[in-house]
Amino acid sequence: MLHAPPVRPTFELPLTVPVDRAVQQLKAALERDAAHHPVEVLGQHVVLTIAPEARHFWSPWLTMETQATDTGSVLHARFSPTPAVWTGFMLSYISLITAGCFGLMFAASFLVIGRSVWLSLLLGCACLALALGMYAAAQVGQRLAREQMAELRDLVHAALDDLRADPPAAPR
């Protein structure tokens, strides 16, 4: 079965230590490289980014959350574009879905009263085409950011290497 590439790739790291120790070690290791990769830590939540001078439109942010498990903890990590880019994409999708639904409602109304539905159907199809185009652009952006994503992932793996419960899982 064919699967669409993920919009926001993720990975997990099972760890053998409690949440607090994992976050402390991750924070200490990442802060040593903070000039090249700014890091923010709030409780169990960690955000790792690319240095401002190396960023481009598609540069990733790595958002991580550590949760307790029976055997220690697990780090859940998710790549995403900067919040401004992500918000822009989501607002665009919402706008396209709304306009497409209005187009289809007008088409249904025009069909009931016997008028031509082509213009309304065209609006719905155009919105669908634009949404698919945006999805394709996001996939291209992920390919352009692949090297930076690997860089951030490798930093996290190196920071937590001695705490891992098993080999790192491949990104989904």
Q: How far apart are CA 168 and CA 151, in angstroms?
A: 15
Q: Pinpoint the alpha helices (H) of the chain.
A: 19-31, 83-113, 118-144, 146-159
User: Is 169 contained in some domain?
Assistant: no
Residue 63 belongs to a domain with what CATH number?
3.30.310.80
What is the reported pLDDT for 59? 92
Say whether both 14 and 80 belong to one domain.
yes
Q: Do residues 15 and 62 share a domain?
A: yes
Same domain? 116 vs 36: no
- Assess whether 153 and 122 both reside in one domain: no
On whether both 48 and 112 belong to a single domain, the answer is: no
The tally of domains found in the chain comes to 2
Is there a domain that residue 42 lies in?
yes
The β-bridge partners of 75 are 13, 66
Segment 45-60 mean pLDDT: 90
170 located within any domain: no
8: pLDDT confidence band, cut at 50, 70 and 90? confident
Pick the closest to residue 23 from 67, 71, 60 (CA basis). Answer: 67
Quick one: pLDDT band at residue 163, thresholds 50, 70, 90? confident
Is 67 contained in some domain? yes
If asked whether residues 75 and 91 sit together in one domain, one would say no
pTM equals: 0.78
> 62 is in which domain, residue-wise?
10-84+145-163
Residue 3: which pLDDT band, with cuts at 50, 70 and 90? low
In tens, the pLDDT along 94-134 reads 999 999 999 889 888 988 998 988 888 898 889 999 999 99
Indicate if 80 and 21 belong to the same structural domain. Answer: yes
